[in-house]
Amino acid sequence: MQKIVLFFLTVGVMMASCAKSTKPALRYKVTNDAADSIFENIFIPDTGTYTMNIKVDFLSGYPTDNVKLVLTGLPANVTATPDTFSGVPNFTESFVFTSKNAVQGTYPVTLTGYTSTVIPQVYNFSVTVIPADCAALYWGSLTGTSACTSRSYISPATGVSTGVLNNLTINNFGGYGLHCNVTVVLNCDNDSLHIPLADYGNGVHLSGAGIFNADSMVIWYYAPATPTGSPESCTLTYKK
């Protein structure tokens, strides 16, 4: 009788052990914004702060498994608070980058996700350190390439500081002449820009919006009045 009891106890332990080993592995997705886009590169000022929101979404598997996120490879004079975070998906964590006199350039950085059920997932991206006044990226000579509703052309321009942080004046904007000076307002937090509707000289009225990075600036604008008198819509790309 004792042998029979021991047999069933042994079988029970083995079954419990097997049940444990079949715990479903956690599958999750990591993105660095709220729009479920791919994991993207970021731009931070050489002195200042930048916030990167990391979103971790549960896909399948064991629903209470923890995901630990670890940032590594930050450049000198750049720190992140926190640089390690743990949570159960779904969750969003904000990593705040703080820089002080960091050397401008592009650096490879790694975010690694750890769980108890799967091998670590590695996400590689780059951190580009730019001037605290991101308009400084475009001071000096520029080359503009315009694709408009009825024409395409290349024209030189000059970027000048307005004396206001993250504001840029572009002389000969769109090739509209040296008396046309357009003010571009840059948003360094999300790498976007806008141009308020105004009279910018030489018979030019326009407004626009766009995006930029350390290499190029793309502006979509509509000009109801131009030096030729005809309105036009254009995509204008500036490069240093």
Question: Residue 87 forms beta bridges with which residues?
Answer: 67
| Beta carbons within 10 angstroms of residue 158's beta carbon | 16
Q: Cα-flanking dihedrals φ and ψ of residue 62, to 5°? A: -70, 120
Say what the pTM is.
0.61
- Could you give the count of Cα atoms lying within 13 Å of 30 in the half-sphere of its Cβ? 25
- 24 burial (CB, 10 Å; 0-12 / 13-18 / 19+) is exposed
What sign for the dihedral angle of Cα 160, 162, 168, 173?
Answer: negative
Strand 140-148 versus strand 152-161 pairing type: antiparallel
User: Which distant-in-sequence residues (6+ apart) come within 8 Å of 116 by Cβ?
Assistant: 65, 66
For residue range 51-61, what is the model confidence (pLDDT) as tens digits? 888 999 999 98
pLDDT band with cut points at 50, 70 and 90 for residue 31: confident
Q: Are 50 and 71 in contact (CB under 8 A)?
A: no
User: Which distant-in-sequence residues (6+ apart) come within 8 Å of 139 by Cβ?
Assistant: 159, 160, 161, 168
- Say how many Å lie between the first and final Cα of the chain, rounded: 89
Q: Determine the pLDDT at residue 11.
A: 47
For residue range 125-144, what is the model confidence (pLDDT) as tens digits? 999 898 888 899 999 999 99
Whether 15 has a pLDDT exceeding 60, the answer reads: no
The larger pLDDT score, comparing residue 224 to residue 6, is at 224
Q: Determine the pLDDT at residue 180.
A: 97
In order of start, what are the domains of the chain with their CATH numbers?
A: 25-130 (2.60.40.10), 134-239 (2.40.128)
Question: Residue 125 forms beta bridges with which residues?
Answer: 109
Query: How far apart are alpha carbons 225 and 199 in whole angstroms?
Result: 9
- Please state which of the ranges 38-42, 128-132, 217-221, 236-240 shows the lowest mean pLDDT: 38-42
Whether 66 has a pLDDT exceeding 50, the answer reads: yes
The mean of the pLDDT values for the chain is 88
For residue range 73-114, what is the model confidence (pLDDT) as tens digits? 999 999 999 999 999 999 999 999 999 999 988 999 999 999
